[in-house]
Structure 1
């Protein structure tokens, strides 16, 4: 009932109608119609189609016109994200009693896929922010939920996920950032690397070592910006994802109240991994959205670009390439949505399915976007054309939220454990 009420609120808050035609990608697409075989609304309920429409309209009207500007000028679009939060996209899977939308994992996947057609980089940060809000909502006590979740769901405040360190990436359980208990405070020392939003965000969900070696010695603390001893490295210069800042997060005798610990001591690694299961679905969804946009841009380009006296759309070779791209897209979407359902239902196959979805969708959708660039020819390499930015922005999806090599390890372990 709560989720249904939220969906009705989303519909009432539909501020961005397709009638505001300004020639943008999805305005053009919806006038011409999306080919039925790649229609992202297939299989969805009426309510899901409604908030998918809201997300597509927002992507077209509020994100796509600014995507290149945010990228080239490295702008963190705070106000745009707060507008998205007004539609319920700041806390998609957070419970409504603390300001969330109470949506399912599948619902959230649909939202992030649609938003990513307007700007994959910004949407990817929003998915990380949502993951942090979900972790606090799920593992925090009532006081913690009431303190942090409302501001995160409205995006009045922004969150960052802090797991990776300079010396521990794929081997996350070897992290060294320490938290020593002194009275009612933890004293943090160490650093985190490649933190999305680092320095510009307000809340840091930090995995740190409170016990011995290995995953059972890890706890999870919420650290607020402005806490003495918390500082940040330089803003990293990246190939893509330029609409979100990335910095090291540094702790030097940083004192954090015990009251800021999520769960019990030693539960942090489990919290981190449960957060990543949803994060993998969301980042895969962002890749699917980028691939959808690139296929539609390529289709349009093939109709207007001529070579050897004929439009590219008459070339059987390019027709076959477009067909392969569409097939990869639909297969990726189906796999992501299946994994989202498994995670929502807490099925025993959820973890390997989330890993499969992340592995398959991020690999295949990068191939789609890269092929789209190739089919644009020299134009695809110009920053005036969106395909090159989609290529740059989703390349990192094969690395973050667990590299695709780690995804293979998780899947293989699940298979071999059956014996």
Structure 2
């Protein structure tokens, strides 16, 4: 058997040529007709769909954005074709949760913001609203810098116009999806006028629950926007938990997405959009656990669902596996989750089972320790929501028995020597006191 039998040269060639092909197509734009440029850009968009994060970062550099700005200055690239490309770049960046920020401060960024202001200042009859909306969407998806109040005052009314459409046609729903993706992204910045946008988003979620008109990505973005606003408006908790039923809805969406994923494939081989949307839902759940304090019974089902995704992802989908464990770690300390929920959902059994794996990597090991550290801390507190002392004692007994049955003490004691290493590697703040990980009855 050759040493190279397991090496996939075809994959290596494809990875290399995607970035080279993109660069070649970009340089071919200069001496083409507008229709030919559009065709080339559609080919480039196809390459973007296939890129992983490393390829994406190597292509979309400050130099590339500077080059595109120069092409616009020389009129070798029209705004229409630039938008066709950059809107797709922003969409893929946000969909796949790629974290790269070369756009801010680039020549293209400067040209785009100038064009937005120029178009917005035209009279109503002269203004090209479609161009303005598309420029705003491109800019908001690509920028990672702080967005100014002036830009938001231009961008948000445009988005609201799109979101008000209830037409269920594919074209309109794609427009709504893009608007919600932009709004979800811009939500990082706290300068939005709450009342208008929150009411609109609540209605969009409610309408979808009755009519199922939104795409899976649109629905996730709407929830992301709403949950990120809890810290500014505590009254949203009641709406999110008991009126719009986040726990029930998140569970249903995740179960639907997981049915569409081929878990036998490796993560890098699975290009389905459902994988990216699932990652985004897990991010929303993290935000929910960390910002909401209101409990309802739907959380048991949601946590159980996260455990099932973890099991499915184990071995091949490292990013999703890590996200699931992080969500469970958050749930263990969240004020809207009862310790009893972690028992009923099977989360405690699962983490105990996971800790016995001989192939456990450092990140998983430290997160598992954090999970039990969080539970132990809460059961030592008197104001953790488990108010009935008899019930608390019974809960402690059940968890203690499970830990004893699974040999948790032996496992944790054997890790004592590496906890300092784990802290240094992952900046985890794990306790060096082994007794802090145990539940005492």
Class of the TM-score when normalised by the shorter of the 2 chains: under 0.3
TM-score (norm 2): 0.26
Q: Report the structure, 1 or 2, having the larger helix content.
A: 2
Query: Structure with the greater relative contact order (CA < 8 A, sep ≥ 6): 1 or 2?
Result: 1
TM-score (norm 1): 0.27
Whichever of the two has the greater Rg, that structure is: 2
